[in-house]
């Protein structure tokens, strides 16, 4: 992105993917926007389905020099030629995973709403932490990552931070000056034209950063 202060886009796949169509959809989205990373996040625990999906999406992402990480399936990272892993249990396993995967792997940690967990993840070797959800969602325990958390983090901590979960145009505008990445997933995939939806979000982000 041209503006170094503008948050980058971190795409999160839908939990259910149709392999006959989604790789083409992802390709169109990646061709239409500057995306920093893609996270493979599938609801299934079927290793074969995960592997086939990862193979298809890795081809799309790597052809565009975009890294592909997988959520939680640490043992599949090296086997499937992926770039790293996103851990959803905060700092708990970061140190061990860093040792297992080495220094080149991307390791991220979702830390809910806990700045303490985020700092521990950073100290254990995470490349980034994510906080969320930032909006209301039926998932989880109802807690939300408030703007104050991102404001504090961006002022006090150098480790990159991702804002994700139930994003809206209002939250994008509010958080754009105080986060490094936006984790965008169902917000665009549930629309008729994900590439156009992402372009709209990027315009909101750019405008908010320009006005700060």
Residue pLDDT, tens place only, 113-142? 999 999 999 999 999 999 999 998 876 778
Q: Are the beta carbons of 179 and 118 closer than 8 angstroms?
A: no
pLDDT tens digits, 45-63: 999 999 999 999 999 999 9
pLDDT tens digits, 177-196: 999 999 999 999 999 999 99
Spatial CA neighbour of 77 closest among 89, 88, 67: 67
Calpha distance 169→198 (Å, rounded): 11
Question: Mean per-residue pLDDT for 16-20?
Answer: 96
Residue 1: is its pLDDT beyond 60?
A: no
Calpha distance 203→10 (Å, rounded): 15
What is the distance, to the nearest Å, from the Cα of residue 61 to the centroid of all Cα atoms in its chain?
Answer: 14
Q: Which domains does the chain carry?
A: 8-211 (3.20.20.70)
Question: Mean per-residue pLDDT for 165-180?
Answer: 97
This prediction has a pTM of 0.96
pLDDT tens digits, 75-114: 999 999 999 999 999 999 999 999 999 999 999 999 999 9
Q: What is the pLDDT of residue 118?
A: 98
> Alpha helices of the chain — where are they, by DSSP H?
22-32, 47-62, 76-79, 94-101, 115-124, 147-156, 169-175, 186-189, 194-211
Question: Mean per-residue pLDDT for 20-29?
Answer: 98
Q: What is the pLDDT of residue 212?
A: 59
State how far the alpha carbon of 16 is from the alpha carbons of 9, 90, 141, 179, in Å.
21, 24, 23, 28
**pLDDT-derived band at 3, boundaries 50, 70, 90:** low
């Amino acid at each position: 992105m041209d503006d170094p202060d503008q948050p980058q886009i971190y795409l999160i796949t839908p939990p259910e993917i149709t392999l006959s169509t989604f790789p083409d959809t992802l390709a169109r989205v990646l061709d239409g926007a500057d995306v920093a990373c893609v996270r493979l996040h599938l609801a299934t625990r079927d290793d074969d389905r995960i592997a086939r999906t990862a193979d298809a999406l890795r081809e799309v992402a790597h052809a565009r020099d975009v890294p592909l990480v997988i959520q939680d399936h640490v043992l599949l990272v090296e086997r499937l030629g992926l770039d790293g892993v996103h851990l959803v249990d905060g700092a708990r396993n970061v140190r061990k995973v860093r040792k297992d995967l080495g220094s080149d792997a991307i390791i991220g940690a979702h830390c809910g709403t806990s700045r303490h967990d985020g700092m521990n993840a950073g100290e254990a070797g995470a490349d980034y932490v994510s906080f969320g959800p930032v909006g209301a969602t039926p998932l989880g325990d109802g807690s939300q990552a408030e703007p104050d958390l991102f404001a504090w983090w961006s002022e006090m901590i150098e480790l990159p931070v991702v804002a994700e979960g139930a994003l809206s145009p209002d939250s994008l505008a509010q958080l754009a000056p105080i986060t490094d990445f936006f984790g965008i997933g169902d917000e665009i995939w549930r629309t008729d034209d994900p590439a156009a939806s992402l372009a709209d979000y990027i315009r909101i982000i750019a405008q908010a950063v320009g006005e700060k």
